[in-house]
Amino acid sequence: MPPGLGQVGKSSLEMADLERKWRLIPPRTDDGAGNMALDQALLEAASRPGFPPTLRFFRWSPPALSMGRFQDLGDVDLEACRREGVDVVRRPTGGRTILHLDDFTYSLVLPRGFPFPARVVEAYLFICRGIVAAMNRLGLEVSLIEKGGVDYRRAGSACFASSTQADLRLGGRKICGSAQVRRAGALLQHGSVLMADHSELLFRLLRFPSAREREEALREYRRSCTTLEETGRALSWEEMASAFASGFEEAFRIRLEEGDLTPRERERWLGLVPAYRSPGWLANRQARSFA
């Protein structure tokens, strides 16, 4: 187990009796706006009484670049994205650009009153227990990125080229990155595990001052990141979903029960989709009240 995970997880679990039954939303495939709008809708719902801890796994169609909440839109070549058929969406969380193509994406929403740690880094460590358990079930020994990581400003526009204490590495290279946001006492954390290498496409979709700088950034990305494909393991998305479900059950000693959205959650989700598709939100000109 990575340093710190056991200690943080144990103290958090002892804070109170956790809800033993969590909701697992059935896997779904959506475009970028639909996926990110649903994460926000669930985060908002989590501040109201009766919301169960909720885990979901999802796919992206068409492939999408997701940008961090405060990232400059100028980092992305929108015309190149159109040519390649890649959607562009801004996340409700921070960080930099991620290409969602042959990746495995999870989202966990914990309700107001749930005893997750108050400090952001400790909350990452707490939630990472489930991810580590999932990867171990797949025979993959992952560890936390060491304190400090790689500065976003030095790493460039690609999120996986940077590292934080929210990230996991395999064989010394980053394989899973996550981001987190809180609102009204509730917490959303979502992240991706790279299953295949599409770094060449990713870097074609980003802007760089010169071709030389693009190639240098791509080489650094490939040195610092890895994928499940590179391990030689032919894992399907369904196998990943099964391992993640079992890993979270094991790590948190809970039972996942499949359950769909409530009517209120669905209504809010569908109402948010147009906002996430709007040019104003993509350009980060619209104010949003994220805690």
CA dihedral 111, 101, 164, 213 (to 10 degrees): -150
Both tokens of residue 242? 């099964």
Quote the CA–CA distance of 26 and 60 in Å, as a whole number: 15
Amino acid identity, position 16 = A
Where do the H-state alpha helices sit in 93-230? Answer: 120-137, 152-155, 199-204, 211-224
Buried b (16+ CB within 10 A) or exposed e, 25-58: beeeebbbbbbbbbbbbbbbbbbeeebbbbbbbb
Strands 142-144 and 168-170 come out as antiparallel
Q: What positions carry a catalytic annotation?
A: 159
Distances from the Cα of 3 to the Cαs of 92, 129, 146, 255, in angstroms? 29, 11, 9, 26
Distances from the Cα of 220 to the Cαs of 114, 162, 203, 225, in angstroms? 39, 10, 12, 9
Both tokens of residue 5? 């995970």
Quote the CA–CA distance of 22 and 37 in Å, as a whole number: 21
SS3 89: strand
Question: 20 with 253: CB under 8 angstroms?
Answer: yes
Question: 89 with 63: CB under 8 angstroms?
Answer: no
